[in-house]
Amino acid sequence: MMSAAIDAFLAMLAAERGAAANTLAAYRRDLEGAGEVAGDLERAGKADLSCLTRAWADLAPSTVARKISALRQFYGFCMDEGWRGDDPSAVLVRPQARRPLPKILSHAEVERFLTQAEEEAAGDKPNAVRMLALLELLYGSGLRATELVSLPITAVPRDAPFLSITGKGGQQRMVPVSRRAKEALGRWVAVRSAPGSPHLFPSRTGYISRIRLYQLVKELALRAGLDPAKVSPHVLRHAFATHLLEGGADLRVLQTLLGHADIATTQIYTHVDSARLVALVNERHPLAAARAGG
């Protein structure tokens, strides 16, 4: 039965690739949805699958690409198991989906942002010191918002300048902590008043939420004279990655630091850097200046 084949495929993803529960649920939705249109996937041929193109006509290219990827992996598994000798999903043409370039902040904007946080933390008020520590880790270590707010107090480095992070899918990685971030963390731990909490950034109900972090970052951006629409925890993570790449960081190293499972995800930053270089040429090249002077 189709459901048995899908169950076996998902079990393989969980056991051999360590796929997270959300990932497995997404695969199941895509495969079962395709089966509702094309029939029993285990026995479907190219003619059966070709009708999916019409069924998916109104979906975003990225969504269609994800569904096709799920089918190709499923049929690859079926062939490995000897359940069939061909892959009918070859009839489906993957759309060319361009990922939007992430928003980025310039070095000057980041410096302005951090300077505002440092000035506010000068009096050692706990909330201001906490904000400085949060920012130093967002920009200095490239953490995801969820990874940051859920850090345990035991994650604070003592001798080794690294944090042990549990990222997407429960994957573990080590990220470096800059001298600035380590100093900010030390200041925060000294004024943090939650002796019974296991969380580095505690709240009354556990740890501060991603939404609260988002609000705090927006509020600080406003006080720093920056457009709040341009700034978020994720934008600071992008700035970390982009500025490292501009400085000559290796893409594979960047992939490890960011916790990306696929190097293709990290490669978006090469496009960001290219876009910056094109803008620089258009604005600063002597011929551009001569043309503008006309």
DSSP state of 130: H
Q: Which segments of 163-209 does DSSP mark as H helices, in order?
A: 179-191
Whether residue 269 lies in the annotated active site: yes
Q: How many CB atoms are closer than 10 A to CB 140?
A: 20
237 catalytically annotated: yes
Residue 264 class from Cβ within 10 Å (0-12 exposed, 13-18 middle, 19+ buried)?
exposed
Among 168, 173, 199, 276, the active-site one is: 168
Determine the Cα angle at 213 with ends 221 and 122, to 5°: 60
Task: Please confirm, yes or no, whether 234 is among the known catalytic residues.
Answer: yes
Q: Evaluate whether 101 touches 268 at the Cβ level (below 8 Å).
A: yes
Q: Which residue among the candidates 72, 103, 234, 276 is catalytic per the annotation?
A: 234
Q: What are phi and psi of 174, to 5 degrees?
A: -105, 135
Separation of first and last alpha carbons in the chain: 72
Catalytic residue among 130, 237, 238, 243: 237
129 by Cβ neighbours in 10 Å (0-12 / 13-18 / 19+) ranks as buried
Buried/exposed 281-290: b ≥16 CB within 10 Å, e otherwise: eeeeeeeeee
Q: Which residue in the list 27, 75, 207, 269 is annotated as catalytic?
A: 269
Closest CA to 118 of 176, 163, 180: 180
Pick the catalytic residue from 144, 182, 238, 243. 144
Alpha helices for the chain (secondary structure H): 2-16, 21-38, 46-55, 61-80, 107-121, 126-141, 145-149, 179-191, 210-223, 233-246, 251-258, 263-266, 268-284, 286-293
What residues are labeled active site?
144, 168, 234, 237, 260, 269
